[in-house]
Amino acid sequence: MSENSLFTRIINRKLAADIIYEDDQCIAINDIAPKAPVHMLVIPRRPISRLTDATKDDRDLLGHLMWVAGEVARMAGVSDAFRLVVNNGEGAGQTVFHLHLHVLANKGTSKKFSENDL
């Protein structure tokens, strides 16, 4: 677990970030170094280090993250064409060891929206 991960600091408002969505289980932010015109990260509040560190008890949470990824893509206007990426482990390019889903799309608008919009 990464109790003091970069993303935990963002979740706890110790570090500024462009938070575009949050609920009781996760937040979504715009990536600070976007690799595509739309690049959002969906991050669970629970600091699971890697996807493969998730347990059976995390299955509902993992499903929720997928659902939120689809919803933030819809709100960003890219629900017809986006990629969902999870880098699991250093060898796969993971640099922040707090699970996150990358939502990547070639066009659309990154904007702020709330749970009420979903």
> Sheet of 26-30: strands edge to edge?
19-22, 26-30, 38-44, 101-105, 83-85
39 assigned to active site: no
Count of Cβ atoms closer than 10 Å to residue 75 Cβ:
22
Helical ranges in the chain per DSSP H: 6-11, 59-75
Half-sphere exposure (CA, 13 Å, Cβ side) for 58? 17
Among the listed residues 26, 27, 28, 31, the single contact to ligand AMP using CB under 6 A: 31
Tokens, residue 117: 């919009």
Question: What mask, x for binding ligand AMP by CB under 6 A, covers residues 82 to 101?
Answer: -----x-----xxxx-----
Residues whose CB is less than 8 angstroms from the CB of residue 97 and which lie 6 or more positions away in sequence, other chains included: 2, 5, 49, 50
Query: Does 13 sit near ligand AMP (CB under 6 A)?
Result: no
In the set 39, 98, 100, 102, the catalytic residue is 100
Query: Does 6 sit near ligand AMP (CB under 6 A)?
Result: yes
Question: What mask, x for binding ligand AMP by CB under 6 A, covers residues 35 to 74?
Answer: ----------------------------------------
Residue closer to ligand AMP by CB (options 50, 64) is: 50
Residues at the interface with ligand AMP (CB under 6 A):
6, 17, 29, 31-33, 87, 93-96
